Amino acid sequence: MSDLEKIYGVHAVEALLRHHPKRVKQVWLADGRSDPRVQPLLELAAQSRVKVGQCERREMDAWVEGVHQGVVADVSPSQVWGEAMLEELLDRCEGPPLLLVLDGVTDPHNLGACLRTADAAGALAVIVPKDKSATLNATVRKVACGAAEVIPLVAVTNLARSLEKLQQRGLWVVGTAGEAEQEVYQQDMTGPTVLIMGAEGKGMRRLTREHCDYLVKLPMAGSVSSLNVSVATGVCLFEAVRQRQAKRKG
């Protein structure tokens, strides 16, 4: 079992059973857990012939760090996609793609929240650099509430080079920076767009910033100077969603 990961939480385990059942080797429920919330999960496990066992809740507490909700699964290792997958996704994309880049986001909670928001906004993929970035783990999957099993997470070796390739394919790169003159609401994001969010505090790295076609900011009226990166990501992505919906209706 040492080559397996433990994924926990009702939504994360249910999403794995729904989208990647072959990765799930066993599902564990806390003793006495058979309420309606886990019934869809149990039905999916039965359909895929995945074993379901029971164990004491305190044993689960020792397995994982976090709120497991009495549901833990033993699964094969996480899948992080490479640049070839990104090219394939773009080739198959019918409308103007929307990509999210997280430059230096190392907190797994923020990565999970960003994956969840990106999936809700209809982003094609989330791109991260291989170095100095959070990657898929149990915490990310729990926070993402199933989105980590749906939206591709693409890790690239050289982010600046990857941005150049995307620009060559006709995508416009929009970076976020507190000192930008233009607000995100003034930026046209109805076309093929790459939205870059930098790490909290540090923002985008210099080389990443140099590859941006546009820089935008969020208007800050209060006493704080910045938002949590996952919150800012949600605001920016759904501004792109709003613009795209308005253009389709117009």
Domain boundaries, the chain: 5-75, 83-249
How many whole angstroms separate alpha carbon 159 and alpha carbon 177?
A: 17
Q: Residue 215 — very low, low, confident or very high, per pLDDT cuts 50/70/90? A: very high
pTM, two decimal places: 0.80
Q: Is the dihedral of CA 174, 177, 179, 185 positive or negative?
A: positive
Percentage of residues in the chain with pLDDT exceeding 90? 63
Q: What is the mean pLDDT of the chain?
A: 90
Do 128 and 102 touch, CB atoms closer than 8 A? yes
Mean pLDDT value of segment 129-137: 89
Q: What are the residues whose beta carbons fall under 8 Å from the beta carbon of 203, sequence distance 6 or more?
A: 176, 177, 178, 209
Q: Residue 223 pLDDT more than 70?
A: no
pLDDT, residue 45, reads 94
Provide the CATH number for the domain formed by 83-249 in this structure.
3.40.1280.10
Residue 1: pLDDT band by 50, 70, 90 thresholds? Answer: very low
Q: Tell whether residue 89 is among the known ligand binding residues.
A: no
Q: What is the pLDDT of residue 225?
A: 67
218 assigned ligand-binding residue: yes
DSSP 65: S
| pLDDT band of 94, cuts 50, 70, 90 | confident
**What is the tens place of the pLDDT at every residue in 12-35?**
889 889 888 888 999 999 988 888
207 marked ligand binding residue: no
The dotted CATH code for 5-75 is 3.30.1330.30
